[in-house]
């Protein structure tokens, strides 16, 4: 069994290849053999394909073969299993391909949104360290050689520069440390703690909830396409959200559904979606096109998630750049004022 798992892009490529071959009338065992012929580098997928081919030759189904390979996420395994049961395996593979491709796109956006501020923080810290370690001491040594009233009235500006730079450096180090600790916690099972901290920031809370809803609608649409009943589709989709706030709303929707309300009505009453989206869902459920409406909502939520992430970057970018420019500008003014005072005294 493989010890590593495929990333989102790898899962997307595999599912798309399987979907196209099944659409062409190729059986699953032949499809796996064809993929093996094209993959001869000994990577994670190649090892998984070997296990899958062996399992299928022994009579296992596609979902069981994928599970034994150990390289696929649990969501993909659930979907393929449901697709086999409903006879819609081809459609499920295409849906999974789109789902994981979308996940990759969103993940890249989030990674870029974190990488740029991190790089800016490192640069600002480096600049401040150079200023405090080399630039200001050089000016201080020059001014310290002068005595009398020549610089006594303006030398205090240099001390202000020291204080301002030390304060700015301390703030930047705290922010960089918080970012590093947050990333470590996010990647080591403490995601809930980080989410609670981010939820205090309105824009970050909106991004987390929008991403959670995007994952939910995508998962639910795929579950419904695979033949799951509506209530089962909702329950199975909840763990995919990766957002505690969204999960709480969904569980309240489930409680309402247990009392006899439909999912669309429960979602509208609990304000799971924005009002216009909620009405779209109601109309889709009443017309029997819930799957199609969920697909449209998923696309809208993906676009909105990207817009929110871009807005966050658009706020952080000028803010950090402004901090750097203000710090450097204050430094220049602070070290030049004594020199101006000296020149005026001489003149």
| pLDDT score of 39 more than 70 | no
Q: Token pair for residue 333?
A: 């003014």
pLDDT digits (tens, 9 = 90+) for 206-253: 888 888 888 888 888 877 877 778 888 888 888 878 788 888 888 888
Residue with tokens 């989709």: 237
pLDDT digits (tens, 9 = 90+) for 327-342: 777 777 777 766 666 6
Q: Indicate the pLDDT class of residue 154, thresholds 50, 70 and 90.
A: low
Closest CA relative to residue 11, chosen from 107, 98, 111 = 98
Q: Indicate the pLDDT class of residue 150, thresholds 50, 70 and 90.
A: very low
In sequence order, the 6+-apart residues with CB closer than 8 A to the CB of 181 are none
More confident of the two residues 58 and 193: 58
Q: Indicate the pLDDT class of residue 109, thresholds 50, 70 and 90.
A: confident
Q: Token pair for residue 74?
A: 């649990």
| pLDDT score of 346 more than 80 | no
Instruction: Report pLDDT for 134.
Output: 82
Instruction: Report pLDDT for 340.
Output: 64
DSSP 8-class letter at 273: S
Q: Indicate the pLDDT class of residue 27, thresholds 50, 70 and 90.
A: confident
Residue 14: exposure state from Cβ atoms within 10 A (0-12, 13-18, ≥19) = buried
Work out the average pLDDT over 105-128: 81
Report the phi/psi class of residue 261: left, alpha or beta, with left for phi > 0 and alpha for psi in -120 to 50.
beta
Instruction: Report pLDDT for 149.
Output: 44
Note the pTM of the prediction, 2 decimals.
0.71
The share of the chain scoring above pLDDT 90, in percent, equals: 0
Instruction: Report pLDDT for 2.
Output: 41
Instruction: Report pLDDT for 155.
Output: 61
> What whole-number distance in Å separates Cα of residue 72 and Cα of residue 7?
9
Q: Token pair for residue 278?
A: 């909620």
When the pLDDT of each residue in the chain is averaged and rounded to a whole number, the result is 80
pLDDT digits (tens, 9 = 90+) for 57-75: 888 888 898 888 888 888 7
Instruction: Report pLDDT for 61.
Output: 86
DSSP 8-class letter at 240: G
More confident of the two residues 148 and 261: 261
Instruction: Report pLDDT for 38.
Output: 66
Residue with tokens 């509208």: 268
Question: CA quadruple 54, 58, 64, 67: dihedral positive or negative?
Answer: negative
Instruction: Report pLDDT for 1.
Output: 41
- Please report which helix (H) or strand (E) contains residue 342, including its range: helix 290-346
DSSP states along 133-149: IIIHHHHHHHHHT--TH
Check: CB of residue 169 under 8 Å from CB of residue 331: no
């Amino acid at each position: 069994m493989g010890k590593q798992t495929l990333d989102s892009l790898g899962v997307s490529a595999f599912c798309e290849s399987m979907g196209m071959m099944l659409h062409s009338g190729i059986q699953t065992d032949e499809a796996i053999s064809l993929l093996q012929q094209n993959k001869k580098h000994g990577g994670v997928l190649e090892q998984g394909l070997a296990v899958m081919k062996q399992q299928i030759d022994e009579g296992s189904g596609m979902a069981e073969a994928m599970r034994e390979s150990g390289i696929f996420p649990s969501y993909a395994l659930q979907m393929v299993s449901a697709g086999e049961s409903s006879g819609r395996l081809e459609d499920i593979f295409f849906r999974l391909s789109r789902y994981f491709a979308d996940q990759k796109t969103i993940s890249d956006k989030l990674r870029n949104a974190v990488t740029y501020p991190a790089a800016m923080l490192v640069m600002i810290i480096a600049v401040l360290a150079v200023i405090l370690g080399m630039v200001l001491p050089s000016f201080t040594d020059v001014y310290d050689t002068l005595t009398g009233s020549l610089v006594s009235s303006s030398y205090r500006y240099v001390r202000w520069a020291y204080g301002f730079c030390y304060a700015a450096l301390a703030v930047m180090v705290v922010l960089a440390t918080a970012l590093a600790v947050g990333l470590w916690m996010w990647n080591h099972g403490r995601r809930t703690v980080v989410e609670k901290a981010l939820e205090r920031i309105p824009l970050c809370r909106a991004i987390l909830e929008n991403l959670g809803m995007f994952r939910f609608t995508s998962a639910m649409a795929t579950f419904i396409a695979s033949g799951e009943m509506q209530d089962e589709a909702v329950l199975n989709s909840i763990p995919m959200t990766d957002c505690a706030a969204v999960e709480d709303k969904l569980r309240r929707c489930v409680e309402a559904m247990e009392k006899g309300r439909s999912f669309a009505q429960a979602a509208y009453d609990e304000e799971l979606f924005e009002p216009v989206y909620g009405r779209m869902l109601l109309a889709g459920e009443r017309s029997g096109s819930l799957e199609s409406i969920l697909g449209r909502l998923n696309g809208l939520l993906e676009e909105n998630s990207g817009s929110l992430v871009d807005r966050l970057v658009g706020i952080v970018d000028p803010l950090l750049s402004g901090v750097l420019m203000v710090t450097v500008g204050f430094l220049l003014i602070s070290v030049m004022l004594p020199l101006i005072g000296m020149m005026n005294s001489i003149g």
